[in-house]
Amino acid sequence: MKPVSTIGRVFLIGAGPGDPELMTLKGLRCLQHADCIIYDSLVNTELLQHGSATAECIYVGKRAGTRSVSQEEINSLLVKRALDGKVVARLKGGDPFIFGRGGEEAEALAQVGIPFEIVPGITSGYAAPAYAGIPVTHRDFSSTVTFVTGHEDPAKEGSRIPWDEIATGTGTLVFFMGVGNLEEIVGTLIQKGKDPNTAIALIQWGTCSDQEVVTGTLATIVSQVSATGLSTPAITIVGEVVRLRDTLKWFEHRPLAGKRIMITRPRHQAQELQKQLTELGAEVVPFPTIEIRDPITWEPLDLAVEHIEEYQWLIFTSVNGVVRFFRRFRGRGRDLRELKGIRIAAIGSATEKQITEMGLQVEVLPDEFKAEGLVESLKGKVLKGSRILLPRAKIARDVLPVELAKQGAQVDVVTAYESVLPADGKDRFFRILEERPLHLLVFTSSSTVSNLAELVKPETLPVLLPHTAVASIGPITTKTAESLGLHVDIQPRQYNVGSLLNAITDFFRPQQ
């Protein structure tokens, strides 16, 4: 064994029942500082994005009916990584100590003297019922709740489950992962004295966008589940509290409930849209197809900043251009007051907002948020011989400089940032598709479309996403998507995020 000083540490973390927002703050903090993340099949992979960019991620998921990593192999992996001096985040669905085999993993660590901590998580045993509108306890129905494994065969001899007691009690019963044994569980409960008319519910993918709930009685539930095709992972609730679902269900009533939506814009720019979609009930999968980086050289931009007083117009086409330009502007010791007399034009309400928040005024903002609209809006305002500074991405459409030059302006295009493909994009994209279907793919710029298409080569997006709807923020983005074989289902009348959100909501609104 290595000296104690070189041994790492293991955090056994409950990742919650599926909704990534149900992760605890302590769990998130431990995840952020881990060198290695070892995670299960029921862990929402969106949580992995909170880990370090350099963290090693190892999947050890186990599912009924599929070949999986054994518990002994997982224990050995935890020990090995810790002995290598790593800080290990062991992410487990729900709570590690509630049918999560966390106790066995903690024992394996304790046996070789590896430091560990247990970080409890929200268990699906009460979270999934809560999202289905079923309180596991209620003053009028049940004062106790019993968690029971659904893996044990009720017919076997020497059962550790006290069937006689739980069948005749009045409390709520919660069976974990019992779909495969549902018929045996229900039959045993009735045989041991449970009223066949007792209410029961099965909740598949509880707290996730595609949560499904089937309710019935002990006498009817087996045939109901068979008819719906509901399968693992699922929680089974037995008790009269199930009858409160019709009154208390809330999760399904939100406008975008049940929809899994992927956003392809850079993560820092997607936060507001993600928040709004989530509040409307969607499960949002952030998948940035663009990473924003500094240009290879700042020389052209720095030169423009040094001679800023020579320009009559400053044009911005994106929030990134604004942020990167002014960061460099101030870094070179310049003051915003030195922009006095320089007129500012912008494309997009978000770009305008970024500028005005610095106390500057945007003089020209086109009604149509694209280059052609700005060219039209600048007619008669840009005088012949005017010098225009256009800080933008390294690769962009040339409509603005070409058309403004036709009006007699001198346009200096300088690179303020570069848009590049994310390093691990392809592997992560295919992991997301393997988890559960996507209902909608959202593109907010042409580059988000072309970058995603580039990532998945040699496959094509239409082949990979035959049943996924597509939303585009505007006609330029739509044109790019269609050129790659995608059918665009949603495009707002106004080309901004607020209108896009409304268009998405309208698209999924049930037809009257």
What is the value of pTM for the model shown? 0.71
Kindly state whether residues 134 and 249 are assigned to the same domain.
yes
What number of residues does the chain have? 512
Per the annotation, the verdict on 177 as an active-site residue is: yes
28 plus 107 within the same structural domain: yes
Q: Mean pLDDT for each consecutive 10-residue tract of the chain (512 residues)?
A: 68 95 95 95 88 90 67 94 95 94 95 96 96 96 94 73 91 93 94 95 91 95 94 94 95 89 82 88 87 87 91 90 91 88 88 90 82 82 86 83 86 87 79 87 90 88 93 92 94 87 91 60
40 given a catalytic annotation: yes
Dig out the tokens for 364 from the structure. 């020209």
Record the tokens describing residue 350, joined without a space: 């978000």
Parent domain of 466: 260-290+422-508
pLDDT at 480: 93
Among the listed residues 19, 86, 177, 194, the single catalytic one is 177
Do 368 and 223 reside in the same domain of the chain? no
Are 267 and 210 part of one and the same domain?
no
The CA distance from 185 to 201, in Å, is 13
* Residue 462 and residue 346 in one domain: no
Residue with tokens 């001096």: 85
Whether 114 and 154 share a structural domain: no
Domain limit, last residue, from 419, 443, 464? 419
> Quick one: residue 281, left, alpha or beta (phi over 0 = left, psi -120 to 50 = alpha)?
left
Strands in 79-167 per DSSP E: 87-92, 116-119, 145-149
d(C-alpha 429, C-alpha 468), whole Å: 14
Query: Of 91, 122, 153, which closes a domain?
Result: 122
* Annotated catalytic residue 358: no
Which positions ≥6 away from 278 have C-beta within 8 Å?
A: 21, 284
- Provide long-range contacts, Cβ within 8 A and 24+ apart, for 155-159: 155/184, 155/188
- Same domain membership, residue 302 and residue 410: yes
DSSP H or E run through 173: strand 172-176
Question: What pLDDT was estimated at residue 1?
Answer: 44
- Cα–Cα distance between 300 and 499 in angstroms, integer? 36
Number of H helices, E strands in the chain: 19, 19
- Are 479 and 384 within one domain? no
Considering the domain architecture, whether residues 304 and 238 belong to the same structural domain is answered as no
Cα–Cα dist 198/212, whole Å: 20
Residue with tokens 């010098």: 387
Which residues have CB under 8 Å from 122's CB, separation 6+?
14, 16, 17, 22, 24, 94, 95
Residues 135 and 245 in one domain: yes
Q: Are residues 189 and 163 in the same domain?
A: yes
- What is the pLDDT at residue 2? 44
Q: CATH number, domain at 155?
A: 3.30.950.10
How far is the C-alpha of 172 from the C-alpha of 143, rounded, in Å? 8
C-alpha span between 355 and 363 (Å, rounded): 11
The pLDDT value given to residue 66: 54
The last residue of a domain, from among 398, 419, 440: 419
Selecting among 35, 40, 95, 262, the annotated active-site residue is 40
Partnered with residue 57 across adjacent β-strands are 37
Domain total for the chain? Answer: 4
- Domain check: are 100 and 173 in the same one? no
Task: Check whether the bond before 233 is cis (ω within 30° of 0).
Answer: yes
* Of residues 145, 120, 123, the one with CA closest to residue 233: 123
CATH number at residue 343: 3.40.50.10090
The answer to whether residues 80 and 8 touch, using CB atoms and an 8 Å cutoff, is no
Classify 209 as helix, strand or coil.
Answer: coil
